[in-house]
Amino acid sequence: VHKQNLVALQKKLDELHPADVAYILESLPLNDRLLVWDLVKAERDGEILLEVSDAVRETLIASMDSEELFAAAENLDTDEIADLAPDLPHDVMQDLLQSLDAQNRAQLQSALGYPEGTVGALMDFDMVTIREDISLEVVLRYLRRVGELPDQTDKLFVIDRDKKLIGVLPLKRLLLHDPDVSVAAVMVDDPITLHADEEADQAAQAFERYDLVSAPVIDKDEQLIGRVTVDAVVDFIREESDSDMLSMAGFREEEDLFATVWKSVQNRWAWLAINLVTAFIASRVIGLFEGTIQQLVALAALMPIIAGIGGNSGNQTITMIVRALAFGQIHPGNARKLLLKEVGVSLLNGVVWGAVVGVFAYILYNNIALGFVMTGAMILNLLLAAVMGVMIPLLMHKMGRDPAVGSSVLITAITDSGGFFIFLGLATLFLL
């Protein structure tokens, strides 16, 4: 690239929103990415690091020395520093903590204390607090004097002397009511509140249901400690669904599109290893029946059909149940009803598709008994898939584990090995 072009590019970058710069960085192969990163003004480094994906952030941070990292982070809010913290070297974090005043240091330390996936990790500290005994006029004058209002502020928080949250004042009410009335007269005194150690998913559901823009976070003494805003919730929802998709496909973590081959292999090998184990087991199940296959080699060609359809049907059931569990819609009272429904669905599917594969087998091999064995095996494997598809996620949920992770692998393993066993077992009993 010519030097002239670099200057033009730099100017262009300066005009872009940090999120747009982040997007460009994510779309570039590593070498080009670091070239562009060098062109970004140092004082913007921090806000851009916040916007890029975790995998890309790692590559950018790896290219910076401690001083650059300190400079990038020191302009950020404490909750933002906390978001970067897992990727920052220990000495940079120490320097940052020392550079903060007492209040900010306390905030940063409290933000660092909340694990990912909690409300505390989504929280920021940009809240405007007021007292209940002043008039709206005073509030308006106070805001004009301060001259700044944090982004995504749709309400002010009303606290008492002990920092206890006693209500919220929506900007809407501040604007619409007579300036002479007091805050106490127009505030909402039973606002929706969040707790810092709640699951972030709970907060997301509250934002979704009640169409919130921001919500106060309180501790167990009802003291106001921060707020959550809808932009943090939107990012959280997107990341959640993205990471669900990645973990279902067997990635350990998010992968940089331009990661090295070696890094990608590390990110993906665990899943392949697990599947190898389940494939070995299925292979040994078939091994048990080698004598049967030797006598009727058609079985080898037909057996993947039984296993495959069972896997698909089981995955439908399990998706349904995992989803209902996530929405909190399953309880002991209706679990039996659901099981009966899924068994019914798979019986009907088993009879219909079992008949289709039975006729297929009969036509191909001109062996009517083989057709009946196919039909019977299909029905039994779909029943197995339905029962396991309901029970696996319910058991995982009961044991306090996330039923979304790994249940698809498990059901496929069961319908594969189970399908081979059922089909070859029936064949051994009835065809030899």
Considering only residues 28 to 87 of the shown chain, the ones binding its own copies according to CB under 8 A are 29, 51
**Residue 270 touching its own copies (CB under 8 A):** no
The region of 33-41, 82-90, 114-122, 176-184 touching its own copies under the rule CB under 8 A is: 176-184
With contacts defined by CB under 8 A, name the span among 34-42, 93-101, 171-179, 216-224 that binds its own copies: 171-179
Residues in contact with its own copies, counted by CB under 8 A, come to a total of 114
- Footprint of its own copies on residues 191-220 (CB under 8 A)? 207-211, 213
Closest to its own copies by CB, 19 or 369: 19
Smallest distance from the beta carbon of 84 to its own copies, in angstroms? 18
**Cα dist from 423 to 88, 92, 108, 140, 197, whole Å:** 55, 62, 61, 77, 50
Options 335, 360, 367, 397; binder of its own copies; rule CB under 8 A: 360
In whole angstroms, the minimum distance from the beta carbon of 176 to its own copies comes to: 6
Closer CB to its own copies, 134 or 237, in the complex: 237
Residue 200 CB partners (closer than 8 Å, separation 6+): 117, 118, 119, 121, 122, 236
Q: Residue 316 interacts with its own copies (CB under 8 A)?
A: yes
Phi, psi of 234 (to 5 degrees): -60, -45
Longest dimension (CA), the chain: 95
Residues in Cβ contact with 98 at an 8 Å cutoff, skipping those fewer than 6 apart = none
Which listed residue (182, 193, 264, 367) binds its own copies by CB under 8 A? 264
Question: Contact between 246 and its own copies (CB under 8 A)?
Answer: yes
H/E run at residue 164: none
Find out whether 121 and 113 touch, Cβ atoms under 8 Å: no
Contact stretch for its own copies (CB under 8 A) within 80-88, 92-100, 112-120, 251-259: 251-259
CB atoms within 10 A of CB 193: 14
Answer for which of 185, 257, 363, 369 binds its own copies (CB under 8 A) is: 257
Using CB under 8 A, which residues numbered 111 to 170 contact its own copies? 140, 143-144, 147-149, 151-154
CB of 95 to its own copies, least distance (A): 29
Each residue 275-314 as x (binds its own copies by CB under 8 A) or -, in order, gives xx-xxx-xxx-xx--x--xx--xxxxxxxxx-xxx--xx-
Q: Which two tokens mark 59?
A: 């590559």
Nearest alpha carbon to residue 311 among 319, 323, 322, 301: 319
Helix 30-39 and helix 18-26, axial crossing angle in degrees, nearest 10: 160
Residues 8, 106, 181, 272: which binds its own copies (CB under 8 A)? 272
What one-character-per-residue DSSP string does 189-236 give?
A: SS---EETTSBHHHHHHHHHHHT-SEEEEE-TT-BEEEEEEHHHHHHH
Question: Measured between alpha carbons, how far is residue 60 from residues 46, 52, 81, 408 in Å?
Answer: 11, 9, 16, 35
Residue 131 and residue 13: Cα distance in Å, rounded? 43
Minimum CB separation of residue 156 from its own copies in Å reads 10
State in angstroms the smallest separation of the CB of 240 from its own copies. 8
List the one residue from 66, 99, 109, 241 that touches its own copies (CB under 8 A).
241
CA distance 154 to 168: 10
Residue with tokens 């950020």: 76
Query: Counting contacts by CB under 8 A, is residue 397 touching its own copies?
Result: no
* 238, 253, 363, 368: which one binds its own copies (CB under 8 A): 238
Closer to its own copies by Cβ: residue 89 or 308: 308
Residues 321-340 that bind its own copies (CB under 8 A): 323-324, 327-329, 331, 334, 337-338
Give the separation between CA 239 and CA 229, rounded to whole angstroms.
16
Question: Is 250 near its own copies (CB under 8 A)?
Answer: yes
Minimum distance from residue 269 beta carbon to its own copies (Å):
7
Q: Is 401 in the site for its own copies (CB under 8 A)?
A: no
Residue 363 touching its own copies (CB under 8 A): no
- Yes or no: say if 355 and 377 are a contact pair by the CB < 8 Å rule: no
Answer for which of 34, 230, 391, 431 binds its own copies (CB under 8 A) is 230
Residue choice 416, 421, 422, 427 for contact with its own copies (CB under 8 A)? 416
Please classify residue 311 by burial: count the beta carbons closer than 10 Å to its beta carbon, then call 0-12 exposed, 13-18 middle and 19+ buried.
buried
